[in-house]
A and B are shown apart, each in its own frame.
Chain A
């Protein structure tokens, strides 16, 4: 298995772990009481912003650890640049990822149209963000293994 394939798998696992851990951490902190209140909106705003921050930091740390582990176990250096195949796969992964997010975004807006609580919109948006991230990683793994 090559560096890029291993990296895609690590990215997929870390995305799931980071999201799962963060949700478990934030779930008990949900404010009690009304569904539509300032505290609830503040909670969801913080949820999204902190998730982004936490996710970026965790991905950087995991990536550094993976590169060190890869060098030690294989004796190879990780590629320092992205060639035409990498760029093509990246484009396909981004396309699929954006598609999934846009579907989620439309569903989130649709939930408001059918008079669902604002909480449902936030949950759909967050889940679509997570799903789009997973879709990107799965697309990369698929194309690195099966070709373009």
Chain B
């Protein structure tokens, strides 16, 4: 809603991981597809626990999936 400063690379990472679907990621992270949609749109900042679960689903450290403020990495 405009004030969300926690960004993420979920969409790109899904693509890099054999074009994983939102539902597949949702199942791995233990959330609904709606939550993945909201995260990708930048409409929701996840809890720390969920952020770790998503990072674990990609087998990456947290900071490669989530970032604070504007992302400078491409």
Residues of chain B with a CB closer than 8 A to A146's CB: 1, 43
| Cα distance A57–B35 in the bound complex, in angstroms | 29
| Cα distance A146–B42 in the bound complex, in angstroms | 10
Q: A3 an interface residue at 8 Å Cβ cutoff? A: yes
Contact B44 A148 (CB under 8 A): yes
B43-70 vs A, CB cutoff 8 Å, 1 = contact: the mask equals: 1101100100000000000000000000
Select which of B23, B32, B33, B38 is within 8 A of A147 by beta carbon. Answer: B38
B14-57 vs A, CB cutoff 8 Å, 1 = contact: the mask equals: 00000000010000001111110110011110110010000000
Residues of chain B with a CB closer than 8 A to A79's CB: 32-34
Contact A85 B38 (CB under 8 A): yes
Report the interface size class on chain B: 10 to 19
Residues of chain B with a CB closer than 8 A to A21's CB: none
Q: A47 an interface residue at 8 Å Cβ cutoff? A: no
Q: A131 an interface residue at 8 Å Cβ cutoff? A: no
Interface residue count for A (Cβ, 8 Å)?
15
Residues of chain A with a CB closer than 8 A to B33's CB: 2-3, 79
Q: B4 an interface residue at 8 Å Cβ cutoff? A: yes
Select which of B4, B32, B41, B46 is within 8 A of A86 by beta carbon. Answer: B32
A145: min CB distance to chain B, Å: 8
Not counting A3-B32, A79-B32, A83-B35, a sample of 8 additional A-B residue pairs whose C-beta atoms are within 8 angstroms of each other reads A3-B34, A76-B23, A81-B32, A84-B47, A84-B50, A85-B35, A86-B32, A146-B1
Interface of A with B (CB < 8 Å)? 2-5, 76, 79, 81, 83-86, 144, 146-148
